[in-house]
Amino acid sequence: MTSSYDQSIKSSIGSGGRYDSAIGGLIGTNENFSTVGISFGLDVIYTAMSTFDKVLKEIPSVDYYIIPLGTQKEALVVANDLRKKGYKVEFEMSNKKIGKALEKANKEGVRNVIIIGEDEVKNNHFKIKDMFSGDEKIESYQFR
Assess whether pLDDT exceeds 80 at residue 86: yes
Percent of the chain with pLDDT over 90: 41
Q: Which domains does the chain have, with CATH numbers?
A: 14-58 (no CATH), 64-140 (3.40.50.800)
User: Is residue 140 classed as helix, strand or coil in its secondary structure?
Assistant: strand
**pLDDT tens digits, residue range 7-51?**
667 778 888 888 888 888 888 888 888 888 888 888 888 887 777
User: What is the C-alpha separation between 119 and 141, in angstroms, rounded?
Assistant: 12
Model confidence at 107, pLDDT cuts 50, 70, 90, reads: confident
Residue 97's CB: how many other CB atoms inside 10 A? 10
Residue 77 above 50 pLDDT? yes
Confidence check: pLDDT of 2 > 60? no
Residues 114-140 pLDDT 10s = 999 999 999 999 989 999 999 999 999
pLDDT of residue 3: 38
Predicted TM-score of the model (pTM)? 0.59
pLDDT of residue 60 exceeding 80, the answer is no
What are the contacts of 123-131 at 24+ separation with CB within 8 A? 126/78, 128/64, 129/102, 131/102, 131/105, 131/106
| 124: CB partners within 8 A, 6+ apart | 140, 141, 142, 143, 144
pLDDT category at 54 given cuts 50, 70, 90 is low
